[in-house]
Amino acid sequence: MRHRETLASQDLLKLRELIGDSDLLFIDEAQNVDNIGINLKILHDHFPELRIVVTGSSSFDLAHQIQEPLTGRTMTFRLYPIAVAELAQVFTRFDIRGQLEGYLLYGMYPEVLQLSGREAKIGHLYELASAYLCRDVLHLSGIKHSDKIHKLLKLLALQVGSLVSLHELGKLLGMSHETVGHYIDVLEKGFILFRLSGFSRNPRKEITKMNKIYFYDTGIRNVLTDNFNPLAYRPDTGALWENFLIAERCSASSGEGPVLPKPISVVPSCLPPWRQCSCFSSASKASAARRSSSLIGKRSRRRKASWIWP
């Protein structure tokens, strides 16, 4: 509490006392510090040799409070869930293939990967989804109808890989398509899901095409559908597999995630042959290539970091 009050004080003497002789300042959950952008500007201007790393689990207030006072002074990094390429630096391909079903079911958040046992992983995912949605997405965005956004999330989770119609979702939820679009925008800013635009050889038509929506982490998606059944016994295996592949490609295409020197064949052996490629059964090669390339520049998972250069 004292550290937060000092960082929000706009008092140069207090800030100088807090920093001391340190050459690196790390601030976590910076969106919870009042007037964080102004105070960071004071630190940047009066301590030019000080390196400052600022992280936050939401872009709502962090982006607004930092970018305006510190325009041109920051560099932003988006941190994705753990990628298969990162695991390949530690584990063999044989080990990764053996754990692939767990990655699809429980996701790739670091805490989940470190837990052992099905119940522990599922319990942590439910707690994470509940706490994050209530604390960050609903509180920071100012959304009052929490039941509506929870229902919207479940609908989106159930139709991963399908084209999303805002008008159809609006009718199902009893709200306007503009409100549905606003809620999806809030969820994207919260690094829960991301939109993938349609492909057309005509750029003007591409703008009007419907999007697909994917989740950054398949574990969170499975929480929303309340389904952690094994892959061989669930009807949405193809959609789940598609979401996993697109999220992995999103991380690799961002330029902020590691890239494998050689591609890993990660088709789960537990899937029957007719299911192994179901997520691409209706897409042409050109369309599939476009899906991968269009992910460049999309948003990351929920945590982001700003590095303020001295």
**pLDDT classification of 134: cutoffs 50, 70, 90:** low
**Whole-number pLDDT of residue 38:** 83
In angstroms, rounded to a whole number, what is the distance separating the alpha carbons of residues 92 and 74?
A: 37
**Three-class SS state of 200:** coil
**pLDDT classification of 65: cutoffs 50, 70, 90:** low
In angstroms, rounded to a whole number, what is the distance separating the alpha carbons of residues 214 and 156?
A: 8
The rounded mean pLDDT for the chain is 79
**CB contact at 8 A, 214 and 193:** yes
**Whole-number pLDDT of residue 59:** 60
pLDDT at 291 over 90: no
Pick the closest to residue 81 from 147, 125, 146, 21 (CA basis).
Answer: 125
Helix axes 146-158, 218-225, angle to 10 degrees: 110
Query: How does pLDDT run across 159-174, given as a tens digit for each residue?
Result: 998 999 999 999 999 9
pLDDT at 268 over 60: no
Query: How does pLDDT run across 232-249, given as a tens digit for each residue?
Result: 999 999 999 999 999 999
pLDDT at 309 over 80: no
Q: Are strands 51-56 and 24-27 parallel, antiparallel or unpaired?
A: parallel
Query: How does pLDDT run across 70-118, given as a tens digit for each residue?
Result: 677 777 788 889 999 899 999 999 999 999 999 999 999 999 999 999 9
**Whole-number pLDDT of residue 90:** 92
For residue 27, what is the enclosing H or E element? strand 24-27
pLDDT at 264 over 90: no
**pLDDT classification of 122: cutoffs 50, 70, 90:** very high
Mean pLDDT of 46-65: 74
**Whole-number pLDDT of residue 286:** 40
Furthest C-alpha separation in the chain: 68
Query: How does pLDDT run across 204-214, given as a tens digit for each residue?
Result: 777 778 899 99
**Whole-number pLDDT of residue 57:** 67
**CB contact at 8 A, 248 and 84:** yes
pLDDT at 63 over 60: no
**Which of the pair, 137 or 127, is modelled with greater confidence?**
127
**Whole-number pLDDT of residue 75:** 79
